[in-house]
A and B are shown apart, each in its own frame.
Chain A
């Protein structure tokens, strides 16, 4: 199959899954809830509806190829960063650092990813911006909760810009025998990590008994985790034909993605608990904010990028 045909069949497959999900959601609503309001079923249907929108947006970005995908993830980073920094304590003296984060660091990181300058985009935020932020903060002169304010902006940039930018950075990897197929690597990552979230939710709802981390994320269960990660790993293995990996390599990669994704979700939950909120925002109906949907991608993307780069890229 040509890369275009593979991409088409992939999206048709995802579309088919969504059609089935929508039918299930509709059946639950009419048969079980009898059309009456029902918190869990209504939330499920809102989530499915949002998935349609998200899949359409990603498809649209894929149509425009590399620039489309990079622009999409730049916007995703922007929405994530504004959610993160909105929930962060800042003072008026942070203005310069915040303005730099939004209007300089974010576009610069994606520009570097676009031109494919690996040597710089991989250290731009962890090194240059890491040092630039305290400089911008100290120039403003306000020392109240200084370390805390500075670290939180740095953390927001690492999570929302640096980590997320490793998804489109996959496009620049040069893999032998996999030319023109880099978009599929993104599709693999996104499908595996998101289906892991969905499958953990489904397994948890169906068989969940043992609470996994009641302090951090009360809805997560051991049964959900094991069922979700194993089935999403199997799904990853089944998708080996769109990747440069063979089936067992694809399984291992999917497993790494799922484990990182799980811990990403847990860490981001802990931050929300600490800040006393349930969701990061309200951007995506039924899901919460951009970061609620991306918490697992954030942790999975850089690791997937570097594993792939180390073993497969030229």
Chain B
């Protein structure tokens, strides 16, 4: 019996795919039901929905986006979507006021066998830069759960579909390219791991024509 939540999830996937014609190219690995952390470039609020909608259904049910509570708990609809539809792991981005450690929250979800979607830039990239520097969170998560595979996903065109501050999305085509999984090496330094993951993500960009 489909529930309201699962119907909303289905509708969100259908809408996202119809709008963006999104397809996922698995060039570095095959879809697998192992626990993974998908990390991607972040250009628009639709990025969560894009990755999430493009994952095969059985993986989607076990994959939770990590999102800022400040944005997703504003308003009834956003809260509903975040909590019930995409089952986001909501983190408090304000280090002063937060009660829970975000890294611990993510590690706990992985412990339960779910996968994560994270954006290591920490915020939406609204600059002209291709990719902002990564925050160290990805390294801290890797140290907390060293067995987990980190899978890079390059999202092409999402910025053009939903430019900052615009309400109406443009129906341009998006492509998501999935690279080869990385795991942290024993004793790997923070800067080395952060640089390695960032390079792996940048390597998935389509060639500039």
Contact = CB atoms under 8 A, between A and B. Distances in A.
Binding between chains A and B: yes
Contacts of B168: 99, 103
A275 interface: yes
A155 B159 CA distance: 23
Interface of A: 78, 82-83, 85-87, 90, 92, 95, 98-99, 102-103, 274-277, 281-283
Contact of A276 (B157, B163, B209): B209
A156 to B, nearest CB: 11
B160 A90 contact: yes
Interface residues on B, range: 10 to 19
B85 interface: no
Contact of A83 (B159, B166, B173): B173
B9 to A, nearest CB: 25
A95 B157 contact: no
A98 B163 CA distance: 12
Nearest to B166: A95
A48 to B, nearest CB: 23
Interface string B155-166: 001011001101
B21 interface: yes
A149 to B, nearest CB: 12
Closest 5 interchain pairs by CB? A276-B209, A86-B173, A92-B163, A86-B172, A275-B209
Contacts of B172: 82, 85-86, 98
B166 A277 contact: no
Contact of B23 (A83, A86, A98, A282): A282
21 contacts: A78-B171, A82-B21, A82-B171, A82-B172, A85-B172, A86-B172, A92-B159, A92-B160, A92-B163, A95-B166, A95-B170, A98-B170, A98-B172, A99-B170, A102-B170, A102-B171, A103-B168, A274-B209, A276-B207, A281-B173, A283-B21
Contacts of B160: 90, 92
A30 B168 CA distance: 50
Interface of B: 21, 23, 157, 159-160, 163-164, 166, 168, 170-173, 207, 209
Contacts of B159: 92
A90 B163 CA distance: 12
A307 to B, nearest CB: 34
Contacts of B171: 78, 82, 102
Nearest to A81: B171
A218 B170 CA distance: 34
Contacts of B207: 276
Nearest to B159: A92
B209 A277 contact: yes
Nearest to A281: B173
A277 B207 CA distance: 10
A95 B21 contact: no
Contacts of A277: 209
Contacts of B157: 86
A191 B163 CA distance: 41
Contacts of A103: 168
Nearest to B208: A276
A95 B173 CA distance: 15
A93 to B, nearest CB: 9
A277 B170 CA distance: 22
Contacts of A275: 209
Contacts of A92: 159-160, 163-164
Nearest to B207: A276
Contacts of A85: 172
Given A275-B209, A277-B209, 20 more contacts: A78-B171, A82-B21, A82-B172, A85-B172, A86-B157, A86-B173, A87-B209, A92-B159, A92-B164, A95-B170, A98-B172, A99-B168, A99-B170, A102-B170, A102-B171, A103-B168, A274-B209, A276-B209, A282-B23, A283-B21
